[in-house]
Amino acid sequence: MSGATAAGVAVLVVTLLALVGPLLGLSPWFTTALVALALTSLTVDAARFGGRGGHLLAETLPGGLLRLRRIALHEAGHVLVAEREGVAVAAIHVGSLACLRAGLSAGGTTVLAPPGSARLPLEELRRWSRVLLAGMAAESLVYGESEGGADDRSLLGRLWGLSGQDAATAQMEQRRARREVEQWLRAERTRLEAEADRLALQAPRLGRPDSPEARP
């Protein structure tokens, strides 16, 4: 839940309480205290957790491991395809807490060694297309659709934009790369699932000690 969404929900709840509270016999002081608590919570969330307090809480709850596992699956797709394509992985962050510690506002990310040049030849663009599309392909393979990947698409768009290739070629090549990655991950699904499980179990969570492997 984004900071704006959280603020909107808080305003809605407080408004409903102000309207319905008297009918339920609730004191106006209760509504006032709730407003103060909501505003304080949002302020602390923005200052300390970058507006991702709702995500941190969701990952701490009993069902949090399922959320982390989906994030881990996305990152596992990047990791396996990067290894296959010879692209170095600098770091892997699974979960909001891991990203927050790294100074990132995200639920998960795989940090790749940057390409050697801003303007890449066609074959290099194809390699990077496969790596950057692998997270979404992994999610789609297991869950039927992808929730993450906005940053991947944005970076891939910039790489193709700087290349000087025309838009039609870029779209055609990215569709081709997506098909190739989906086919390869389907054949490597056992490895993909195992890597996702490993990353999810190592992901730090509030109130739980980090595993030795997850520590920097």
Residue 91: C-alpha distances to residues 16, 75, 76, 216 (Å):
45, 11, 12, 10
Rounded Cα distance between 144 and 136, Å, is 10
Residues 68 and 135: their CA atoms lie apart, in Å, by 14
Give the count of beta carbons closer than 10 Å to the beta carbon of residue 11.
12
Measured in Å, how far apart are the chain's first and last C-alpha atoms? Answer: 27
Q: What's the CA angle centered on 80, arms 79 and 81, to 5 degrees?
A: 95
pLDDT tens digits, 106-128: 889 999 999 888 889 999 999 99
Q: How far apart are CA 146 and CA 139, in angstroms?
A: 5
Return the number of other C-beta atoms located less than 10 Å from residue 38's C-beta. Answer: 17
Q: Between these two residues, 44 and 54, which has the higher pLDDT value? A: 54
What backbone torsions phi and psi does residue 104 show, to the nearest 5 degrees?
-115, 145
How far from chain centre, in Å, is Cα 178?
19
Higher-confidence position of 35 and 186: 186
The predicted structure's pLDDT at residue 118: 82
44 — pLDDT class (breaks 50, 70, 90):
very low
Statement: residue 3 has pLDDT above 50: no
Nearest to 203 by CA among 88, 56, 79: 56
Nearest residue to 132 via CA among 104, 110, 99: 110
Length of the chain measured in residues: 216
Query: Phi and psi for 25 in degrees, rounded to 5?
Result: 80, 20
pTM: 0.72
Percent of the chain with pLDDT over 70: 65
Task: Using the predicted structure, report yes or no on whether residue 90 has a pLDDT greater than 80.
Answer: yes
On average, the pLDDT of the chain sits at 80
Contacts of 70 (CB under 8 A, 6+ apart): 139, 143, 147
| Bridge partners (DSSP) listed for residue 111 | 91
